[in-house]
Structure 1
Amino acid sequence: MSFLTLAVSGLGALVLWTAGYFFWVVWISSKATTGNPIDRATRPNTALLVIDIQEDFTRNSPKPYSEDVRARGIARINQEIEAAHAAGQEVILIKQVFRHWPAILAMKLLMGGIGTPGRKGLAFDEDLKTGNVPVFEKPIGDAFFNPELDAYLAGQNVGHLRLTGLDACQCVQFTAKGALNRGYSVEIIEPATMTVTPEKWPPIKDELLAAGAALS
């Protein structure tokens, strides 16, 4: 086999691998994960998840939230955090950082690079008041893609999750489904969520309710 034939063959394999990896990233980013079912009877505790309230998404996005929506949403999240602390419940921050190169490339080409590694905008919004709480990073919509989150919840005997943050139609939705797939009880605090596509929320909300989630 000639060097040229080997080079062409290698290039073809690289193209196929690249295309396959790209479509794998698109696929995992648009669905919820599955995992081992939990025994909710042995996990009576509650945790509040605050999803992706980061400067890049609350302030720096090319499709930003209005100041009124941002301020009102974060104020309600802060109320939920304060109430959770007062009740002795876990408060957990979820942080989006795109780690797969197709997602990084797409965000840089289409969204000004928000959510990609190395940006100051990955910091949590300056108006968010959390206290000293654990943080779990995720590279896709569903926070349960990071197995450390599930392990931490198991260690804290958490079986009920209350979800806040953004985007309701994306990361909140997929995290809720990932939790439901594992047997968690899920409550979405609707006034403490935000979305840049409010027209898409009603059917997604109906789907989540049909899957067993509760909304408050």
Structure 2
Amino acid sequence: MTGLWTAIGLGVLSLVAYIILSLGKLSRPTRGILIDRAVRPETALVVIDVQEDFTRNTGRHAFDPEKRDAALGAISREIETSRAAGHEVAFIRNVFRDWPVVVAMKLTAGGVGTPGREGLKFDRTLDVGDAPQFEKSIGDTFSCPDFEAWLAEKRIGRLILVGLDSCYCVQLTAMGALARGYAVEIREDATLTTQPEKWAGLKQDLETAGAALA
């Protein structure tokens, strides 16, 4: 009987550890191998999580419609400018996959970003065209191996980041990129956040780490 209770206790501890790990990795940048920018001269615009579950959310996590529309307009202009300049453009879609995160999102945010929702599609204002699309389930886009492989294939060493949320997925992707040696620019007017009071400190951290903000 003692062995049974020991097994149950270990199982509970393992479950708790898994939940903590799943929730914790949402807000941590990833680490990776340093690139050689000398052999990666190309630039890519990375459009992060501009999905209708987030942009058209009417709950307590909703964006101010005026600020949202202004940012969406700026994002569309960045897409047009990048294509005209011959730069690559990639679209990132966030879909929460770890079940503790899925449960948390359903309990606290109406299930936004969870599998099977119509709102996972990119915002209706975006001209996605035939651009590559990559899926992630945590903040840092570099958690997606296919994205990193695409950057290597296209010899990209400079990233321009736009999208949302600037306090979470945008800044985490920036930190993941900087940790790998990429040049990083964030176009502030083409980002959105639900926590503007938090952005000032994060912006300073990003600039200290080497990101350029325009």
TM normalised by structure 2 equals 0.97
SS at match of 2:175: helix
For 1:40-189, list aligned pairs within 5 A. Answer: 40-60=37-57, 62=59, 63-189=61-187
Separation in 2, partners of 1:184, 1:191: 21
SS at match of 1:125: coil
Aligned match of 1:11: 8
Separation in 1, partners of 2:72, 2:123: 9
Q: Kindly tell me: are residues 30 and 61 of structure 1, through their superposed partners in 2, closer, same or farther at Cα, counting changes over 3 Å?
A: farther
Shift of 1:84: 0.8
Q: Percent identity?
A: 51
Aligned match of 1:200: 198
The answer to whether the 8 Å contact 1:61/1:114 transfers is no
SS at match of 2:93: strand
SS at match of 1:190: strand
Structure 2 residue 21 is the aligned partner of structure 1 residue 20: no
Separation in 1, partners of 2:204, 2:76: 26
CA RMSD in angstroms comes to 1.0
Separation in 1, partners of 2:79, 2:13: 47
TM normalised by structure 1 equals 0.96
The answer to whether the 8 Å contact 1:50/1:94 transfers is yes
1:128-157 per-position Cα deviation (integer Å, ceiling 9, x unaligned): 122210011111000001111111000000
SS at match of 1:35: coil
Q: Aligned letter for 2:153?
A: G
SS at match of 2:46: strand
Separation in 2, partners of 1:112, 1:6: 41
The answer to whether the 8 Å contact 1:50/1:93 transfers is yes
The answer to whether the 8 Å contact 1:46/1:89 transfers is yes
The answer to whether the 8 Å contact 2:75/2:162 transfers is yes
Shift of 1:167: 0.2
Shift of 1:26: 2.4
Aligned match of 1:37: 34
Shift of 1:212: 0.2
Q: Aligned letter for 2:56?
A: R
